Amino acid sequence: MKRWLAWVISLASAGLFLLPVLWLLVASFRPSRAIFGGLGASLSAAGWTLRNYPSAFERAGLAYAIPTSLGLLLIIVAGGLVVNSMAAYAFARLSFRGRELLFSLLVALIILPIEVLVVPLFLTARDLGLTARSSPTVLALSLPFVAKAFNVYFLRQHFLAWPRELEEAAVIDGAGVWQQFWRVALPGVRPALATVALLDVLMHWGDFLWPLLITDRASTRTVQIGLANLFTEPPLDWGAILACSVLATLPVLLGFRWFQRHVVAADNSVGLR
């Protein structure tokens, strides 16, 4: 009886959280007059349409926005895995003067929101020439977020939990520091790498403030900027807005589903110290 009750509560909770997503998907195939015509109009068999998706694709400029957002994610995820994992291994295994102080300052950066950092980031990007029209916009969108304090902290904790004896055995076989990192330690924290990659995807696919500040042309918009413009460019078409919302949400859902087993493995593989 307790098991059945737990199943009922779980299904009810899941349905409660999934209801807005299901309504979003259904409403994206309905004309605007049916979306706000009540429950009966929303579920009626008449008035279903596919025109919202081509309209959203054209009006939001997704032909440019989707490649820009994907390029942004590719640089942040790939570059972040390299930079953050190397920094985390250095903090976990290498001994150097001021290591603990530097790590404490790094952890303190986690509490700073993007709103606090956006002006210094913009000035730095401008001084480096990333905001110039001759510079690829995707670099200005992505480079400031390749290195992350939280990712370094998270990976360092997993490196600390990884058995040091395996690296000592590699030293006996003649492995240097780079080989210990690349061949022994890094494969051992692969689930943690998948976790930080997924966190980067979830965080930066929905970026709005920084792309709004750094982009000045329609051809350099991200998906979220294109979606926001649908609210300001007349005529206001809620069918296109909801269709664009589905297209903006789908990659996140697919990415989470793809990396879910790795995230679970990261939670269960090693304990954090």
pLDDT value for 46: 64
Amino acid 171 reads V
Task: Count Cβ atoms below 10 Å from residue 47 Cβ, excluding itself.
Answer: 14
Of 194, 190, 103, the closest CA to residue 149 belongs to 103
Q: CA-CA distances (angstroms) from residue 36 to 20, 56, 224?
A: 15, 19, 24
CB 254 within 8 A of CB 70: no
CB 64 within 8 A of CB 245: no
Structural domains of the chain, ranges and CATH numbers in brackets: 50-269 (1.10.3720.10)
Q: Is 38 left (phi over 0), alpha (psi -120 to 50) or beta?
A: left
The token pair that represents 251 in the structure block: 């990659």
pLDDT value for 272: 43
Q: Is 248 helix (H, G, I), strand (E, B) or coil?
A: helix
Its sign, for the CA torsion 118, 133, 200, 207, is positive
DSSP 75-116: HHHHHHHHHHHHHHHHHHH---TTHHHHHHHHHHGGG--HHH
Its sign, for the CA torsion 27, 29, 32, 38, is negative
The token pair that represents 95 in the structure block: 């001994």
Q: What is the mean pLDDT of each run of 10 residues along the chain (273 residues)?
A: 88 89 86 70 67 90 89 93 94 90 91 86 86 76 91 93 85 84 88 89 88 81 90 85 90 78 57 43
**Phi/psi of residue 141, each to 5°?**
-75, -30
Of 251, 227, 254, 238, the closest CA to residue 36 belongs to 238
Count how many Cα atoms sit within 13 Å of the Cα of residue 59 in the half-sphere of its side chain: 25
pLDDT value for 145: 92
